Structure 1
């Protein structure tokens, strides 16, 4: 499948992949385009941005823009996809350097997406929050 197919596909895996590509490129408009208007995006308790955010604008302003403000080169590397129907689980890792401390992270994560009608309707993050907090201290 070529990149153009991924850009238009409504298959759950492709929608999620578009979200990672947009995030890595810093293209928040393209990222918002992968999210349903009533999206529920949950950052894990203990994570610096813990909470559930709604609306595409709410997600990008409360998560991606804040990560960009606090970290240099924040990237979610999407390594492995497990797809079952509308559920997409991605085994990934975060890499970045904290701007305040200069400390790097390289931490494994799991992301669970629910995709309906070609849009992400739910997201839940699983991460070793202590490793992220340690880099901030």
Structure 2
């Protein structure tokens, strides 16, 4: 009997998103990639240092998570509040880190919009005050 993602709580959209945050916090890029669809579209907001849309799980981790780890010490996304409607999951969160070159701390509120289908994240869009991120990096 095959798994039906709709009937298995481990595939519930909020649970998939939560696994992504936990994998990110642990630095487990393999586990993070396992939450992403092969054709994922991951968009970092215009004005953010890594702005753009990235595709494929490997593209996301190589161009976002690995680069953040180089530029920022202790980069973390703290997932505070989840708002779920069907396949849409909006997370109100915070980023905290210290920029490696400037030594300045970062503490900024963010919103993340995920679309989860078939137990995988198919789309992500970030909303953040990019000026606060830029200020910490300069």
Give the TM-score band, short-chain normalised.
Answer: over 0.9
Are residues 1:104 and 2:105 paired?
yes
- Using the alignment, how far apart are the partners of 2:27 and 2:73 within structure 1? 12
* 1:51 to partner: Cα distance: 0.1
What are the Cα deviations for residues 65-124 of structure 1, in whole angstroms up to 9, with x where unaligned?
000000000000000000000000000000000000000000000000000000000000
- Using the alignment, how far apart are the partners of 2:54 and 2:78 within structure 1? 22
Which runs of structure 1 show a deviation greater than 4 angstroms over 4 or more consecutive aligned residues?
none
- Using the alignment, how far apart are the partners of 2:101 and 2:88 within structure 1? 36
Residue aligned with 2:11, SS: coil
Q: TM-score, normalised by structure 1?
A: 0.94
- What does residue 29 of structure 1 align with? 30
Length, aligned pairs only: 130
Unaligned runs of 5+ in 1: 1-7
- Using the alignment, how far apart are the partners of 2:27 and 2:10 within structure 1? 21
- In angstroms, what is the RMSD of aligned CA positions? 0.7
Unaligned runs of 5+ in 2: 1-8
- Using the alignment, how far apart are the partners of 1:13 and 1:125 within structure 2? 16
* 1:134 to partner: Cα distance: 0.2
- Using the alignment, how far apart are the partners of 1:100 and 1:13 within structure 2? 35
- What does residue 68 of structure 1 align with? 69
